[in-house]
Amino acid sequence: MRILASLLVICLLGSCNTKIEQIKDAAMIYEPEDLKLYETIVAMDKKYFDAYNTCDMATQDAIYAEDIEFFHDKGGLMTSKSDLMKALEENICNKVTRQLVQGSIEVYPIKDYGAVEIGFHSFQNKEEPNAPSQPSKFIVLWKQQDDDWKITKVISLH
């Protein structure tokens, strides 16, 4: 009976590993369902992070929605745009740069709202230039208001 139970556990674990590999494979072959939307969000990501990397606070402020929700796995939830802008200016500005993991962005439309962007990026602390930086996942909800795009929610995972 023990041998039969052990074989069953081994088979189940093998099928779990197969499912995990299938999920990983599916993620590796992402194709945007709306190429124009994908290109728009990739351009907005670049616009925002060019401003982030160069301490262009006005552009960053213009891209964030007034009702921003910024979820950080280490820092918690921030819902005050002015507090977020202050934290970025004091803690990030001229100290940290972001590098996108090329090819990692996925964009999915959100009906009657905008889009969700998922990707990987890493950050380099200029005060510790030799410190290793591991890529981390991010999720951004973009709301379309006419031809304007605003970041309404960010989930930053490290």
What was the pLDDT predicted at 10? 44
Q: Is residue 73 domain-resident?
A: yes
78-131 confidence digits (pLDDT tens): 999 999 999 999 999 999 999 999 999 999 999 999 999 999 999 999 988 888
User: Residue 94: inside a domain, yes or no?
Assistant: yes
- 56 Cβ contact list (under 8 Å, min separation 6): 50
pTM of the full structure: 0.81
The structural domain count of the chain equals 1
Place of tokens 């990983």: 24
CB 121 within 8 A of CB 98: yes
Identify the CATH number of the domain in which residue 93 sits.
3.10.450.50
Evaluate whether residue 16 is within a structural domain.
Answer: no
Q: Count the helix, strand and coil residues of the chain and give each as a percent rounded to the nearest 5.
A: 40, 35, 25
Q: Is residue 104 part of a domain?
A: yes
Largest Cα–Cα separation, the chain: 69
Does the residue 78 lie in any domain? Answer: yes
What's the sign of the alpha-carbon dihedral 15, 19, 20, 22? positive
The answer to whether residue 21 is domain-embedded is no
Alpha-carbon distance of 144 to 91, in angstroms, equals 29
> pLDDT digit string (tens) for 141-154?
999 999 999 999 99
**What b/e sequence results for 106-126 when a residue is b if at least 16 CB atoms lie within 10 Å of its CB, and e otherwise?**
bbebeeeebbbbbbbbebbee
Asked if residue 81 belongs to a domain, the reply is yes
Sign (positive or negative) of CA dihedral 32, 37, 41, 46:
positive
> Would you place residue 29 in the very low, low, confident or very high pLDDT band (cuts 50, 70, 90)?
confident
Give residue 101's domain range.
33-156
